[in-house]
Chains A and B, each alone.
Chain A
Amino acid sequence: MDTNKTKDKQYLFDNPKNIKRVLYTLYASCFLLVVLDFVIHRHVYHSWENLPLFYPLYGFVGCVVLVFVAKWMRTFLMRPEDYYDNPKDDYDIPDDVDSEHTLKNAADENTHKGQTDQTTNTIGGHDVDA
């Protein structure tokens, strides 16, 4: 019953103006912090902190670098969602102890042996009968 009502309801951020407001608040606070950086006398523990706007720049650049590096990591780390789930994967065979996979696989390997066993026996058997 709620869903019918909510469909028509306008939520806070359905109105693009509100999103703009949030963003402008953020821009304004950032600007204020830049100004404060020059106003407030800071205790400096380290020479790097003497650089004007050290923290804002470090935060901004750090995050941009973080995102770009992470994006680049996707190029070689990303796999399909079911990468580890695929039952045909090699990984699942030793993991699913005694499952059909193992048996099937074992059968593949053993078919040759089974045949050889039979042939040797029949050879022996013929000889006995002869």
Chain B
Amino acid sequence: MWMLELPPFTLFFIGGLIAAMTRGKLRGAIMVAIPVISAIHLWTVPEGIHLQLTFLDYELVPYRADKLSLMFGYVFHIAAFISIIYSLHVKDTVQQVAAMFYAGSALGAVFAGDLLTLFVFWELLAFTSVFLIWARRTSRAYHAGMRYLIIQVLSGVILLVGALFYAAETGSLAFGYIGLEGVAGWLIFIAFGIKCAFPIAHTWLTDAYPEATPTGTVLLSAFTTKVAVYALARAYPGTELLVYIGAAMTCFPIFFAVIENDLRRVLAYSLINQVGFMVVGIGIGTALALNGAIAHAFNDVIFKGLLFMSMGAVLHMTGRINGSDLGGLYKTMPKTTILCIVGAASISAFPLFSGFVSKSMVMSAALETGHDWVWLMLLFASAGVFHHAGIKIPYFAFFAHDSGLRASDPPNNMLFAMFISASLCIAIGIYPAALYSLLPYDTGYNPYDATHVLAQTQLLLFSALAFVWLNLRGMYPPELRSTNLDVDWIYRRAIPAALQKVFAVIWKADGALRQAIRGKLSQYQSAIANKHKGLGGLLSGSYPSGNMVLWVAVILASYLFMVFIG
């Protein structure tokens, strides 16, 4: 069947082209239909290499399907479908087209079987998604988008250099297990790490995501980091370093999230925290840990999307997103409130919600392999994520003090998209076997034993108790209009300021030097001119008029001479 050789991204790219040329309901219908058709097709695709070609001396595999890539393929289809429904009301062609190409690029990347194809989609991810940020059309969004683009493209360039080194070292471009050996391994690791929002390289995410459009952020949260997680899971499973990087990723963002005012930035920090759990799972590298990482990526796309959608709905309806401006919205946005709470319960990993069935796999794997301290960090991060994403987000947006805002629930398409996500969160939480059957390994893991459920519930409810206690005592940090410095301060303030100073010194020195040389030159010039004054020499400042008469005579004589010759 010809469809078999058609990589999943092609349909989305075609859809993007159609979206550029159509308007209104027709565009909406086509855009919704594409992920559905593509998903049905993907469901029938067997594992294996479906497309292969030779480029120069290298085998390129633009379409390779195995359990790992199929899993990400499925969830990307779900995410694309939900986000498209969520953004059906958007009339901005730029956003709609960018959404299709962005989702297509993510699919292209996870089905890429060689590093060159991966690189192409890696860069396409950056170039297509940046329009979702710029589409906000504010100066902040423009600058944030620029910084985002520069860092993403940098990641791609490092990937390309790494791929070239890899080709030189191994003679092949195949994208499989790479490992941290040699220059190539490290370069590719760094490239993946930047896109995966490793600590210090994470600020592109917290900088740019909250500046995107309400619908754009939902898409952004689904694809870029998850493609990076996929790439790490394929190339670096069992890399010990990842355990520690991941553990750091789970812990440090929660501190920033607690004091952050922009609720979508809070979610961006919690996105890094969740990706941290996946990175730890990949680093541990056992069957259970990898399953946990992949399952958590799957769930995270859905519940983080749900949370971003609920905050997008708040932004869309009220025009505000800062915790200090919001509050009391449950009164007029009851549906959004409930859907947001479902997302919050899922990300906090309450039993019967999707986060629980995947996060616990990573935690169990950490204990099994003797990573005690990492396990403690993950436990702390689990309590922390409940604190900032589970409680803070719904509490400051929908409850807390009454802001006086009386916005109604968002348009039906937005509510419906959130409803699908919320249903999936609960369905996966109640019946995890469906999700587990899609995972690459069969581990027979059961999340619902009494020990786990009790421990997790205790952890969460006592975290809630801490929140209540701090709040009643007035010790909880209030939401303040503020910017909190993060690593991006280095390239947004420190380096520009330092360069400014350095260049100021250079220009000053340069100006002084030029002035000194000019002064000297003109001194010499006038001195020489004075010396030869009135002598008619080559260097004198003025000439006697007799000289001029002589030269005129010479010219006339030469004319006469030429006439004779002619």
Q: Which residues of A pack against B, CB within 8 Å?
A: 2-3, 6, 9, 11-13, 23, 26-27, 29-30, 33-34, 36-37, 40, 42-46, 48-49, 53, 55-64, 66-67, 69-71, 73-74, 77-85, 89-91, 93-95, 109, 112-113, 116-117, 120, 123-124, 127-128, 130
A79 touches B485 (CB 8 A): yes
> Is B148 close to A, CB under 8 A?
no
B496 touches A127 (CB 8 A): no
A56 touches B406 (CB 8 A): no
Known A33-B461, A66-B254: A91·B492 in contact at CB below 8 Å:
yes
Report Cα–Cα, A37/B470, bound state, in Å: 24
Report Cα–Cα, A40/B458, bound state, in Å: 13
List A contacts of B541 (CB < 8 A).
127-128, 130
> Is B427 close to A, CB under 8 A?
no
Looking at the assembled complex, report how far the CB atom of B557 sits from the nearest CB atom of chain A, in whole angstroms.
29
Q: Which residues of B pack against A, CB within 8 Å?
A: 139-140, 143, 254-256, 258-259, 261, 330-332, 364, 367-368, 372, 375-376, 379-380, 383-384, 387, 399, 406, 408, 449-451, 454-470, 475-477, 480-486, 492-493, 496-497, 499-500, 504, 507-508, 511, 514-515, 518-519, 521-522, 525-526, 529-530, 541-542
List A contacts of B481 (CB < 8 A).
80-81
> Can you name the residue of chain B whose Cβ is closest to the Cβ of A76?
B485
Question: Which of A58, A71, A83, A85 is close to B259, meaning CB atoms less than 8 Å apart?
Answer: A71
B458 touches A56 (CB 8 A): yes
A81 touches B468 (CB 8 A): no
B259 touches A30 (CB 8 A): no
List A contacts of B477 (CB < 8 A).
67, 70-71, 74
List B contacts of A93 (CB < 8 A).
496, 500
A40 touches B460 (CB 8 A): no
Report Cα–Cα, A90/B493, bound state, in Å: 7
Known A3-B406, A120-B518: A55·B497 in contact at CB below 8 Å:
no
Looking at the assembled complex, report how far the CB atom of B545 sits from the nearest CB atom of chain A, in whole angstroms.
15
B484 touches A66 (CB 8 A): no
B482 touches A78 (CB 8 A): yes
Known A81-B481, A127-B526: A90·B497 in contact at CB below 8 Å:
yes
Question: Which of A83, A95, A112 is close to B143, meaning CB atoms less than 8 Å apart?
Answer: A95
List A contacts of B515 (CB < 8 A).
112-113, 116
B482 touches A79 (CB 8 A): yes
List A contacts of B499 (CB < 8 A).
94
> Can you name the residue of chain A whose Cβ is closest to the Cβ of B460?
A59
Top 5 nearest A-B pairs (CB, nearest first) are A63-B466, A70-B258, A59-B462, A59-B459, A55-B458
A55 touches B332 (CB 8 A): no
List B contacts of A127 (CB < 8 A).
525-526, 529-530, 541
Report Cα–Cα, A61/B459, bound state, in Å: 10
B511 touches A112 (CB 8 A): yes
Known A33-B461, A67-B475, A130-B541: A60·B493 in contact at CB below 8 Å:
no
List B contacts of A43 (CB < 8 A).
449, 451
List B contacts of A3 (CB < 8 A).
406
B492 touches A33 (CB 8 A): no
Question: Which of B332, B449, B470 is close to A67, meaning CB atoms less than 8 Å apart?
Answer: B470
Q: Is the interface of B mostly helix, strand, loop or mixed?
A: helix
Cβ-Cβ contact count across A and B, 8 Å cutoff = 206
List B contacts of A49 (CB < 8 A).
455
Looking at the assembled complex, report how far the CB atom of A124 sits from the nearest CB atom of chain B, in whole angstroms.
6
> Can you name the residue of chain B whose Cβ is closest to the Cβ of A43?
B451
A33 touches B458 (CB 8 A): yes
Known A13-B399, A66-B255: A60·B463 in contact at CB below 8 Å:
yes
Looking at the assembled complex, report how far the CB atom of B512 sits from the nearest CB atom of chain A, in whole angstroms.
9
List A contacts of B368 (CB < 8 A).
45
List B contacts of A120 (CB < 8 A).
518-519, 521-522
Looking at the assembled complex, report how far the CB atom of A90 sits from the nearest CB atom of chain B, in whole angstroms.
5
A62 touches B514 (CB 8 A): no
List B contacts of A67 (CB < 8 A).
258, 387, 466, 470, 475-477
Question: Which of B139, B259, B460, B496 is close to A70, meaning CB atoms less than 8 Å apart?
Answer: B259
B454 touches A80 (CB 8 A): no
> Can you name the residue of chain B whose Cβ is closest to the Cβ of A61?
B466
Looking at the assembled complex, report how far the CB atom of A56 sits from the nearest CB atom of chain B, in whole angstroms.
4
Q: Which of B450, B456, B458, B530 has the most chain A CB atoms inside 10 A of its CB? A: B458
A46 touches B367 (CB 8 A): yes
Question: Which of B258, B451, B504, B529 is close to A109, meaning CB atoms less than 8 Å apart?
Answer: B504
> Can you name the residue of chain B whose Cβ is closest to the Cβ of A6?
B406
List B contacts of A82 (CB < 8 A).
483
B483 touches A40 (CB 8 A): no
Known A26-B468, A77-B259: A11·B330 in contact at CB below 8 Å:
yes
Report Cα–Cα, A38/B139, bound state, in Å: 58
Report Cα–Cα, A63/B528, bound state, in Å: 83
A123 touches B383 (CB 8 A): no
A-B contact pairs, 5 of them (CB 8 A): A29-B461, A44-B451, A45-B367, A58-B459, A91-B497
A73 touches B331 (CB 8 A): no
> Can you name the residue of chain B whose Cβ is closest to the Cβ of A109?
B507
Report Cα–Cα, A69/B375, bound state, in Å: 21
Q: Which of A45, A48, A91, A116 has the most chain B CB atoms inside 10 A of its CB? A: A91
A36 touches B454 (CB 8 A): yes
B450 touches A42 (CB 8 A): yes
List A contacts of B514 (CB < 8 A).
113, 116
List A contacts of B519 (CB < 8 A).
116, 120
Looking at the assembled complex, report how far the CB atom of B252 sits from the nearest CB atom of chain A, in whole angstroms.
10
Report Cα–Cα, A78/B507, bound state, in Å: 34
A66 touches B464 (CB 8 A): no
